[in-house]
Amino acid sequence: MIPAKPSADPSEVVTLDVIGVTATAPRAVGGVVPTLVMPIESAVARVAVHTDEHTLDRSNFLVLPAGIVGRVHPSAAVTSVAVLGLSAAVRKQMVAVHHKIGVRDEQLESWLGEVSVLPRTVWVHEVVHRYVFERHALNEHDSDAARFLEVEIAKEVYFLFRDRDEGCDRATIQQRYSAAIERVTAFIDEHLFERRSVNELASFAGVSESALLRAFRREVGLTPAAYWRRRKLDGALDLLRGGRHTVAEIATLVGYDNPTAFADAFRRRFGQPPSMFKPTGRIKPAP
């Protein structure tokens, strides 16, 4: 076993390294706390742990127990990898928030004591990339958004382990939706800022409204309306960065009656008010 070394300040609730790996410079990952290893976006990496090698891509990520270090090798010229260390503090915070739904610290400790490859669901992909954006791009280490995302990451890891042990397969971001959901999500992206009813979406997909609602809840985890609102807010973020529209104009485009309601929804989605994302030359595009 390679001796473990801390990769960042151990006093942080969640440590974060965003490392660039090249063919000539593989990197060691892992440390004094359980560590998550996830290639960023479409990158692919190989992680050697003892005599085993794990290939990581858009479908999965790796969990290393405390005290175990792996070596990351790229599968391309340059591979970017997010490495997150989960301290005892964030695990206890997560249990405190979610104990009413059966989350137990001792169970999570047991799961985190083994080398595991878990499915990269849409939600874990999103919260990790938002966290990398918050910490790495915005350099916000102690914001409300960072604190929320840290607990969400720990929670998702818990339920991924639980579902694995219960034999429940979790869909990854590489898995495609059914044909009806694919048609609707493509339609939503094409008509993002328009107002359409669920009945219109169902007619376009060639299914009944009730069938569409059931399929969306089963495959996406949201209603069609909730999914469309999230996509509109994602589009609003892009418009803010473009700098060609005011917040009030964007609020109207997204379908909110006033900028205050839009700002509240935007903050819930991204952890920051719209004003934080106006072009400043400092903020980078979100992952």
Task: Tell me the C-alpha to C-alpha distance, in Å, between residue 42 and each of 79, 132, 256.
Answer: 9, 15, 34
Sign of CA dihedral 18, 22, 25, 28: positive
Residue 281, pLDDT above cutoff 60: no
What is d(CA 251, CA 247) in angstroms, rounded to the nearest whole number?
A: 6
**Phi/psi of residue 97, each to 5°?**
-75, -35
pLDDT of residue 106: 92
What is d(CA 13, CA 2) in angstroms, rounded to the nearest whole number?
A: 24
pTM of the model: 0.60
Across 55-59, 151-155, 198-202, least confident range? 55-59
Q: Is the same domain home to 139 and 23?
A: yes
Residue 263's domain spans which residues? 179-277
The last residue of a domain, from among 143, 165, 187? 165
Q: Confirm whether 265 is domain-assigned.
A: yes
Residue 280, pLDDT above cutoff 70: no
Cα torsion for 130, 251, 188, 195, to the nearest 10°? 160
Q: What's the CATH number where 264 sits? A: 1.10.10.60
Q: Is the same domain home to 206 and 79?
A: no
Q: Confirm whether 285 is domain-assigned.
A: no
The last residue of a domain, from among 121, 143, 165? 165
Residue 89, pLDDT above cutoff 70: yes
- Annotate 130-150 with DSSP letters as a single string: HHHIIIIIS--SS-HHHHHHH
Q: Is the same domain home to 29 and 155?
A: yes
What is d(CA 91, CA 78) in angstroms, rounded to the nearest whole number?
A: 32
Cα torsion for 264, 268, 272, 277, to the nearest 10°? -80
Across the strands, what pairs with 83? 17, 37
The 8-class DSSP code of residue 171 comes to -
Q: Is the same domain home to 20 and 157?
A: yes
Helix, strand, or coil (residue 196)? coil
pLDDT of residue 3: 35
For residue 254, what pLDDT band results from cuts at 50, 70 and 90? confident
| pLDDT per position as a tens digit, 191-237 | 888 888 999 999 999 999 999 999 888 877 788 998 898 888 878 87
All residues at 6 or more sequence positions from 233 whose CB lies less than 8 Å from its CB, including other chains: 254, 265, 266, 269, 270
pLDDT of residue 141: 77
Give the pair of three-digit tokens for residue 50: 């003892």
143 or 280, greater pLDDT: 143
For residue 176, what pLDDT band results from cuts at 50, 70 and 90? low
For residue 260, what pLDDT band results from cuts at 50, 70 and 90? very high
Percent helix, strand, coil in the chain (nearest 5)? 45, 20, 35
Mean pLDDT within 131-153: 85
What is d(CA 108, CA 65) in angstroms, rounded to the nearest whole number?
A: 11
Helix, strand, or coil (residue 14)? strand
Task: Tell me the C-alpha to C-alpha distance, in Å, between residue 160 and each of 13, 86, 164, 219.
Answer: 21, 15, 6, 16
* Percentage with pLDDT > 70 across the chain: 87
For residue 2, what pLDDT band results from cuts at 50, 70 and 90? very low
Q: Confirm whether 77 is domain-assigned.
A: yes
The last residue of a domain, from among 140, 165, 190? 165
Total number of domains in the chain: 2
Of 265, 284, 282, which is closest to residue 273 (Cα–Cα)? Answer: 265
Secondary element (H or E) of residue 277: none
9 or 267, greater pLDDT: 267
